[in-house]
A and B are shown apart, each in its own frame.
Chain A
Amino acid sequence: MEMHLPRRRLPYLLPHLLPSQLALPPRSLLPLCPQTRSIPIPPMALRAIASRKTLAALGSGLRAQARLATTAAAAAASRGLVTFSLPDLPYDYGALEPAVSAEIMQLHHQKHHQSYVTNYNKALEQLEDAVARDDAPAVVKLQSAIKFNGGGHINHSIFWKNLAPIHEGGGEPPKGSLGWAIDADFGSWEAFVQKMNAEGAALQGSGWVWLGLDKEFKKLVVETTANQDPLVTKGANLVPLIGIDVWEHAYYLQYKNAKPDYLKNIWKVIDWKYASEVYEKECR
């Protein structure tokens, strides 16, 4: 959700940390800073930076937001804090049409996910301060902000990897061991998809529907989580393979109240490469 960034005085920025001198690619979509950690992304992500379509999507609003996030991240980084950054999409915003519209992809990535990243970094900085001054109540009070925003960052980072344009394999059911496991644990591919869709449709409010691997029992499960709770909140042994965002912002502009239609159509662009890699690694 959108939260107000408080007006705050940023720590004094030393001259050598002026944005132009940070290691920013000249026309980057996204704020980066030297000590930024981001979830590893495939090399194809560079295409997102180079693509004219995504660059054209850069409005002044985004630049302002990126500048604010960059400055805040730089300030945090200058104190040795690890900060997170918005991962690039490995495809254009319009590449998942008509299943998911370019308008939704752009807002979802540039506004919603960016907001989680920004607020996650802010919460972590506040956490560090609270720990440093031994303020246990403040530490505890920050937990919900960390769960909301950190969870939002985790979940969306997985989500982008679960999607691919049709011409790059999106929509193709998994082969190999994960494909067989789906048949074994759900009876058939169709039964699995139906279960995901039923759980996603029945979820009240905001949340996610997941295909997860219980790594202790080596079993596949379908689970839902509320709001931005990561899958691990449903079980410490659960590893997310596929997540489908069923917050209204994920589909509303295109599908309006017809959530079941969104769920039916998104399978056309669900990609199984990441899920298969994770599954094979855990089941080795």
Chain B
Amino acid sequence: MATATVAATAPLSNGFLLRRGPNEGAKSARGLQWTKNQRQSASSRRFGAAVITAKFDLKPPPYPLNALEPHMSANTLSFHWGKHHRAYVDNLNKQIVGTELEAKSLEDIVIQTYNNGDLLPPFNNAAQIWNHDFFWESMKPGGGGKPSGELLKLIERDFGSFEKLCEELRAAAATQFGSGWAWLAFNPRPSDGKELLVVKSPNAVNPLVLGYIPLLTIDVWEHAYYLDYQNRRPDYISIFMEKLVSWDAVGAKLEVAKAQAA
């Protein structure tokens, strides 16, 4: 039931974002396995074959860009997905071309480039791609309402009530200072028996790096809400909870998480 701040745990403090800028990360990267894949480029030179460099695609949301109106405008989606999310994809593809990261899944790239808090340059792009894919799935047209079944049971067990969960999620989203995310996550190895927890994280960080399985997220970077709500982040959070959140998606992710943990 505790609200975990990813930023507060020892190796994950905001200090890392200050101490290790992208350039400093690159210097330490040379000491790691993030090396050029020389065999691949050599073979492409030998055969003169075109190398497919676009590894990751920009996945569209599971609904049209105007489907979340009036709660999240098509205008917002066109910039948030069409520009921000797209840029993360384009930039990551450029960063990993010819490196060993090219052969890895997005999740593996996120964990590897998180590098225990000593962020490597591709982390921001990789994690933001992952986070945004997940964010679109966390919402649906006609969302809101209440969860049911196994998900509701676990929520009531670990938070006391659905209302208490909502309160914690809203508080986490409202108090994540600067850019970041608030999450409902599944802890496969809870020390206190509580598998569900609320987490907030700065910038691109997500609960995967803590070994948790995300179930739901709300983007609280200003670009997520500024066109529709300006400075009124609490209003955006309320509307997200009341009209946008897809508890179906959360329930489905919980089933997968429990199967993985078993």
Q: Do A and B come from one complex?
A: yes
Interfacial residues, chain A to chain B (CB-CB below 8 A): 1-4, 107, 111-112, 115, 144, 148, 202, 204-207, 224-229, 233-234, 247-249, 252-253, 256-257
- Whole-angstrom CA separation of A206 from B178 in the bound complex: 6
Q: Which residues of chain A are within 8 angstroms of B14 by Cβ–Cβ distance?
A: 226-227
In residues 8-54 of chain B, which contact A (Cβ within 8 Å)?
Answer: 14, 17-18, 21-22
A/B interface sample: 13 pairs, CB < 8 A: A1-B233, A2-B232, A3-B174, A202-B22, A205-B221, A229-B18, A247-B178, A248-B221, A249-B230, A252-B227, A253-B227, A257-B87, A257-B223
Q: CB-defined interface of B79-101 with A at 8 Å, one 1/0 digit per residue?
A: 10001100100000000000000
- Whole-angstrom CA separation of A253 from B226 in the bound complex: 7
Q: Which residues of chain B are within 8 angstroms of A206 by Cβ–Cβ distance?
A: 178-179, 222
Q: Which residues of chain B are within 8 angstroms of A202 by Cβ–Cβ distance?
A: 21-22
B202 at the interface (CB under 8 A from A): yes
Quote the shortest CB–CB distance from B194 to chain A (angstroms). Answer: 23
- Whole-angstrom CA separation of A2 from B177 in the bound complex: 9
Which residue of chain A lies nearest to B79 when distances are taken between CB atoms in the complex?
Answer: A256
- Whole-angstrom CA separation of A12 from B43 in the bound complex: 80
Which residue of chain A lies nearest to B128 when distances are taken between CB atoms in the complex?
Answer: A204
- Assuming the A-B contacts A205-B202, A226-B14, are A252 and B222 also in contact, with contact meaning beta carbons closer than 8 angstroms in the complex? yes
Q: Which residues of chain A are within 8 angstroms of B232 by Cβ–Cβ distance?
A: 2
Q: Which residues of chain B are within 8 angstroms of A115 by Cβ–Cβ distance?
A: 231
Interfacial residues, chain B to chain A (CB-CB below 8 A): 14, 17-18, 21-22, 79, 83-84, 87, 124, 174-180, 202-204, 221-223, 226-227, 230-234
Q: Which residues of chain B are within 8 angstroms of A234 by Cβ–Cβ distance?
A: 18
Q: Which residues of chain B are within 8 angstroms of A3 by Cβ–Cβ distance?
A: 174-175
Q: Among A111, A112, A206, A247, find the residue whose CB has the most chain B CB atoms closer than 10 A.
A: A206
- Whole-angstrom CA separation of A224 from B21 in the bound complex: 10
| Inter-subunit contact A111/B223 (CB<8 Å) | no
| Inter-subunit contact A107/B178 (CB<8 Å) | no
Q: Which residues of chain A are within 8 angstroms of B203 by Cβ–Cβ distance?
A: 204-205
- Whole-angstrom CA separation of A145 from B85 in the bound complex: 31
- Whole-angstrom CA separation of A166 from B137 in the bound complex: 46
| Inter-subunit contact A204/B84 (CB<8 Å) | no
